[in-house]
């Protein structure tokens, strides 16, 4: 084998997968047909759950230092343009404000980490630099995936190198993190299904050094994150992490029109440069399968969402983290034959659910935009009425895009073959997060009496057994059953009463990705629990 895992695609998902594998000592090669990370504005928000996962990798503070300043609010506006008072302002806290709220909250209802605004063209170089520090990871740029063949022992991928020559790389497993067009997905004959091409837009990236400082704060929208222009072109202005770069989405006809549209959205004279402009289409699609033999797919290669709700890249990071520990387990010999197939079972249901959440948010945005009338700027009773109606509908419907904490934090793996699931379970909510330790759910964040977070006490790798509230239940059998499979396991004694109250049980078994395998007050068949958890 040339490597244990070959990753195709060096976007945030591929680089995150490489980082998580490399940290675990798994050798991987990442190939990318670009010669370096592209300066293109794709995602611009790392959500709370993803920031928790990056915290586990030691990256949270680095990402915050590279991203938007922590004091800038995340407010969302509906405007005629930036020169006029907003039709609607939806206030959302800055990172600093969210961190203060998290520090003061002790009921498990908030994440350990708040969101972070960071542009993809900032995040990708950061992840690349982290990968370059790990000897187990090899990055190969200007390298194109061509085709693959697989057998019972591995995968052979044919690649084209920068000089035009071809080479065959052999790996135990291959993962396609190569985007919506995914050559890897096509090579293994998997299709996307759903709602393609529902709307065609252009996206422009602009440099405007003065706009952020000149935003009218008193009689205008002021500082925020998103500015939705009430027009018939779906115009949407987004502040990027530097506050000097902005992106604009609109349904105008040409790139030149995008320059005029930016000026029109701002509404007052500013000096700006359009750095790039590209067409894109809104899609809501999920792949039929996430796996074919020793080949896996992750990120946009298996789920395409409309950015409303911010669930695209963040869903892909969830894919990467789920897959990384399972690949490690199998490659190191303690993962059973059911562990890797559980990746598709678990992550496809989340991809499908997040496509539904994106659809829900998109329909809300389209509803308030349908209230637009040509007279919306008129200083007439009809014009004022149109503005009031649009704003009142947006006050309800736009929130569906910006309030997705349930979809971000509350997802759980239902009926997974590697979870000791039980019938029933809490409802899946898009906009509300309710802490739960139901099997398959993420362990809620809880502060301990000494000020530490439970998540920070978990072992860096392997399973964790939490003994809560001073219980006398003997868990030696569960430790031994996991160790018999070769699985790493650590036991944490957590006597804090508030943790026991929130978690609701004396014993919790956690996977390496902080999802709950089993919970209870007495230990039933420890060997069965361990066999399920490890895929045996």
Mean pLDDT, all residues of the chain: 96
Domain parsing of the chain, residue ranges: 3-69+111-193+284-358, 417-533
Please give the structure tokens belonging to residue 395: 């006050």
376, pLDDT greater than 90: yes
**Angle 312-331/341-369 helices, nearest 10 degrees?**
180
Mark residue 179 as left, alpha or beta (left: phi above 0; alpha: psi -120 to 50; beta: remaining). Answer: left
Report how far Cα 198 is from the mean position of its chain's Cα atoms: 22
CA distance 19 to 134: 8
CA distance 512 to 22: 15
Q: What is the dihedral of CA 355, 360, 366, 371, to 10 degrees?
A: 180
Nearest CA-CA partner of 462 in 439, 437, 490, 485: 490
Q: What pLDDT is recorded for position 42? A: 83
Q: What pLDDT is recorded for position 352? A: 97
60, pLDDT greater than 90: yes
Q: What is the dihedral of CA 62, 105, 521, 342, to 10 degrees?
A: -40
Model pLDDT for residues 74-113, shown as the tens digit of each residue: 999 999 999 999 999 999 999 999 999 999 999 999 999 9
Query: Does residue 219 or residue 27 have the better pLDDT?
Result: 27
CA distance 192 to 114: 32
Q: What pLDDT is recorded for position 515? A: 98
309, pLDDT greater than 90: no
Nearest CA-CA partner of 360 in 402, 414, 422: 402
pLDDT band for 513, please (50, 70, 90 cuts): very high
Model pLDDT for residues 452-498, shown as the tens digit of each residue: 999 999 999 999 999 999 999 999 999 999 999 999 999 999 999 99
40, pLDDT greater than 90: no
Instruction: Determine which helix (DSSP H) or strand (DSSP E) holds 148, and give its type and residue range.
Output: strand 144-150
The SS3 call for residue 457 is: helix
* Record: fold of 3-69+111-193+284-358: FAD/NAD(P)-binding domain (3.50.50)
Q: What pLDDT is recorded for position 308? A: 84
Q: What pLDDT is recorded for position 170? A: 98
Are 215 and 223 contacting, i.e. CB atoms less than 8 angstroms apart?
yes
Model pLDDT for residues 392-421, shown as the tens digit of each residue: 999 999 999 999 999 999 999 999 999 998
Mean pLDDT of 326-333: 98
Q: What pLDDT is recorded for position 150? A: 97
pTM for the structure as a whole = 0.97
Lowest mean pLDDT among 211-220, 284-293, 353-362, 505-514: 211-220
Beta strands in 352-487 (DSSP E): 463-468
Q: What pLDDT is recorded for position 84? A: 95
Lowest mean pLDDT among 8-12, 37-41, 445-449, 495-499: 37-41
Select 417-533's CATH number: 3.40.50.10490, 3.40.30.120, 3.40.47.10, 1.10.8.640.
3.40.30.120
Mean pLDDT of 1-24: 97
Angle at 525 between CA 516 and CA 459, to 5 degrees: 35
Q: What percent of the chain has pLDDT over 90?
A: 96
Residue partners of 164: CB distance under 8 A and separation at least 6 = none
Mean pLDDT of 418-435: 94
Please state whether beta strands 166-176 and 295-297 pair in parallel, antiparallel, or not at all (unpaired).
Answer: parallel
Q: What pLDDT is recorded for position 310? A: 86
Model pLDDT for residues 145-199, shown as the tens digit of each residue: 999 999 999 999 999 999 999 999 999 999 999 999 999 999 999 999 999 999 9
CA distance 110 to 288: 34
């Amino acid at each position: 084998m040339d490597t244990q895992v070959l990753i195709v695609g060096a976007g945030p998902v591929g680089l995150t997968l490489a980082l998580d594998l490399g940290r675990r000592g798994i050798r991987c090669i990442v190939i990318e047909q670009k010669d370096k990370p592209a300066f293109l504005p794709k995602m611009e928000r790392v959500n709370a759950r993803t920031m928790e996962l990056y915290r586990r990798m030691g990256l949270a503070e680095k990402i915050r230092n590279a991203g938007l300043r922590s004091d800038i609010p995340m407010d969302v506006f509906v405007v005629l343009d930036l020169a006029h008072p907003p039709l609607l302002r939806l206030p959302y806290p800055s990172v600093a404000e969210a961190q203060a709220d998290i520090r003061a909250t002790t009921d498990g209802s908030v994440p350990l980490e708040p969101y972070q605004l960071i542009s993809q063209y900032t995040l990708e170089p950061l992840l690349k630099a982290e990968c370059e520090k790990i000897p187990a990871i090899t990055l190969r740029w200007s390298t194109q995936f061509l085709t693959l063949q697989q057998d019972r022992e591995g995968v052979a991928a044919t690649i084209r190198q920068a000089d035009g020559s071809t080479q065959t790389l052999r790996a135990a497993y291959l993962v396609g993190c190569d985007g919506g067009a995914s050559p890897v997905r096509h090579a293994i004959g998997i299709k996307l299904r759903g709602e393609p091409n529902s709307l065609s837009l252009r996206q422009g990236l602009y440099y405007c050094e003065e706009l952020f400082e000149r935003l009218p704060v008193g009689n205008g929208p002021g500082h925020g994150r998103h500015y939705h222009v009430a027009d018939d072109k779906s115009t949407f202005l987004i502040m990027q992490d530097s506050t000097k770069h902005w992106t604009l989405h609109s349904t105008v006809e040409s790139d030149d029109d995008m320059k005029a549209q930016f000026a029109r959205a701002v509404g007052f004279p500013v000096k700006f440069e359009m750095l790039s402009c590209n067409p894109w289409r809104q899609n809501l699609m999920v792949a039929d399968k996430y796996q074919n033999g020793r080949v896996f797919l992750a990120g946009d290669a298996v789920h395409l969402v409309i950015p409303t709700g911010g669930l695209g890249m963040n869903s892909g990071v969830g894919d990467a983290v789920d897959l990384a520990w399972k690949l490690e387990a199998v490659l190191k010999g303690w993962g059973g034959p059911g562990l890797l197939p559980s990746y598709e079972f678990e992550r496809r249901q989340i991809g499908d659910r997040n496509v539904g959440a994106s659809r829900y948010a998109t329909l809300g945005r389209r509803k308030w935009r349908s209230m637009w009338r040509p007279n919306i700027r008129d200083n007439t009773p009809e014009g004022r009425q149109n503005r009031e109606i649009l704003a009142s509908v947006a006050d309800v419907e736009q929130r569906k895009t910006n309030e997705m904490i349930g979809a971000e934090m509350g997802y759980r793996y239902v009926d997974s073959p590697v979870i000791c699931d039980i019938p029933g379970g809490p409802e899946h909510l898009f906009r509300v997060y309710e802490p739960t330790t139901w099997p398959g759910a993420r362990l809620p964040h809880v502060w301990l009496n000494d000020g530490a977070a439970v998540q920070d006490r978990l072992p860096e790798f392997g399973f964790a057994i939490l003994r809560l509230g001073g219980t006398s239940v003997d868990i030696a059998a569960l430790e031994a059953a996991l160790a018999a499979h070769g699985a790493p396991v650590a036991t944490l004694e957590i006597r804090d009463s508030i943790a026991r109250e929130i978690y609701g049980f004396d014993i919790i078994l956690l996977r390496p990705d902080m999802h709950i395998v089993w919970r209870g007050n007495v230990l039933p068949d420890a060997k069965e629990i361990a066999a399920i958890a490890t895929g045996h």
